[in-house]
Amino acid sequence: MNKKVLIMRNFASKVNIDSYNLQEIGLGKAFVNRGFDCDVIYYHDSNSFEEVIYKSENRNLTIKWTKAIKFMSNSIYYSLLKKSKLNQYDIIISTEYNQVMTLLLSILCGDKVYLYHGPYKDNNHNFIQKIYDQIAAPIITKKIAKTFTKSNLANDFLKTKGFKNLKTVGVGLDIDKLNASNDKNRFTELKETSSTTQNLLYVGVLEDRRNIEFMFKVFSKLVEVRTEVRLTLVGNGKKEDLERYFQLAKELNIDGRITHIKQVKQSELKALYQKSDLFLFPTSYDIFGMVLLESMYFHLPVISTLNGGSETLINGNNGIVLDKLNEELWVEKIYNVLCNLELRKQIGENAHTKILTEFTWDKIVNKMILS
């Protein structure tokens, strides 16, 4: 009989499993490839049912849509809180130390619970957080089997909560799914690689946390010294935010150089990255950033702020991390990379190697199992 893994996404929100960056599915597929059966628990607001979405030999990855009690951002899967349910699993992976399910699982079957934690800052509920840290965190640290973090920043954060024997494993990329994307006819509005125009790319939510206005100001200064350059934004945001951002673009006289695409399909990702020259990620906070993994895998140089993903992935030879939102500094770094083809190629090749050798989901599972 195959060993069995349970992966729980503890947030009280429904997900679209056709989305390309669901970490639980990538992790689950890697466990199946490693010889395990795997169940992934996702929240559902009205029904509980299951579906097999991946098979390898006699092993299955099964999504179990499960009703839950919603408490703030927590999902409490009450139907799973029985030892008869939990005893069928050899490993139970619970996300985030401050989710109630992590506490309950540590009490019920802590010797098989692996905590997989990403955030590196406290949430906004400071009073509740302090109580949880005083009462729940010591129980979790004492009872769970292993603790893994998605970044070194998250590792340092958990140490302040009393966690010990931590291991940073990162986040993985499902390269089979990415390589299957091959919609070459998409993004006709972007230049072909033979063109002299260079494309800067941003992928993510358009919101203040991502410093979109800062990016526009940097871009406006860049076009003064590098005329044949465009900026492509992929992602959506609140209507009022979008109106404010693009009003600024008009005032800066760069709106004609910006392409805004609200959403892309999985099959379009490869073409998107391959028609770009440099990826920008000026976010104030990000747990990891799947877009960093994708960009680097497709040989695209990255310039990013310091965040969970950039601090873990980028070492100076495979990308650039800038810890200050200084417009002149960002323009200088972007200009230098765009003007140096050999530098872009070297950064891109180093970035691709980093992801391929250390940050596929198969590599993440190996780190967990062998720790």
pLDDT tens column, 143-170: 999 999 999 999 999 999 999 999 999 9
Query: At a CB cut-off of 8 Å and minimum separation 6, what does 237 contact?
Result: 205, 206, 207, 212, 245
More confident: 121 or 177? 121
DSSP state of 17: T
The pLDDT assigned to 184 comes to 59
Q: Lowest-pLDDT range, 74-83, 213-222, 319-328, 350-359?
A: 74-83
CA distances from 354 to 1, 20, 159, 347, 365 (A): 35, 20, 27, 11, 16
| The residue to which tokens 């206005």 are assigned | 213
The pLDDT assigned to 9 comes to 95
- pLDDT at 19 > cutoff 90: no
19-22 long-range Cβ contacts below 8 angstroms, 24+ apart:
20/174, 20/177, 20/178, 20/266, 20/269, 21/290
pTM assigned to the model: 0.92
- pLDDT at 119 > cutoff 50: yes
Average pLDDT over residues 171-191: 73
CA distances from 273 to 184, 214, 263, 296 (A): 11, 22, 14, 9
Average pLDDT over residues 161-180: 91
Angstrom distance (rounded) from CA 173 to CA 158: 24
More confident: 313 or 266? 313
Cβ(102)–Cβ(96) below 8 Å: yes
Q: What are phi and psi of 92, to 5 degrees?
A: -125, 120
Task: Place 314 in a pLDDT band, splitting at 50, 70 and 90.
Answer: very high
Angstrom distance (rounded) from CA 345 to CA 324: 25
The pLDDT assigned to 108 comes to 96
Q: How big is the CA angle at 172 (ends 170 and 174), to the nearest 5 degrees?
A: 175
CA distances from 362 to 27, 51, 358 (A): 8, 22, 9
Beta pairing partners, 42 = 65
Q: Which domains does the chain have, with CATH numbers?
A: 4-168 (3.40.50.2000), 178-358 (3.40.50.2000)
First to last CA, the chain: 24
DSSP state of 192: P
Mind listing the pLDDT tens digit for each residue in 47-79?
889 999 999 999 999 999 999 998 888 899 999
The pLDDT assigned to 90 comes to 97
Instruction: Give the closest residue to 278 by CA, choosing from 304, 313, 243, 255.
Output: 304
31 — alpha (psi -120 to 50), left (phi > 0) or beta? alpha
The pLDDT assigned to 367 comes to 96
Q: Using DSSP, how many helices (H) and how many strands (E) does the chain show?
A: 14, 16
The pLDDT assigned to 74 comes to 87
Q: Lowest-pLDDT range, 47-56, 246-255, 298-307, 356-365?
A: 47-56
Q: To the nearest 10°, the Cα dihedral for 285, 291, 293, 298?
A: -150
The pLDDT assigned to 21 comes to 75
Average pLDDT in the chain: 93
pLDDT cut 90: percent of the chain above it = 82
Mind listing the pLDDT tens digit for each residue in 234-285?
999 999 999 999 999 999 999 999 999 998 887 788 899 999 999 999 999 9
Mind listing the pLDDT tens digit for each residue in 198-236?
999 999 999 999 999 999 999 999 999 999 999 999 999
- pLDDT at 325 > cutoff 80: yes
Q: To the nearest 10°, the Cα dihedral for 296, 186, 243, 246?
A: 70
- pLDDT at 124 > cutoff 80: no
- pLDDT at 1 > cutoff 80: no
The pLDDT assigned to 194 comes to 41
The pLDDT assigned to 175 comes to 87
Angstrom distance (rounded) from CA 150 to CA 294: 16
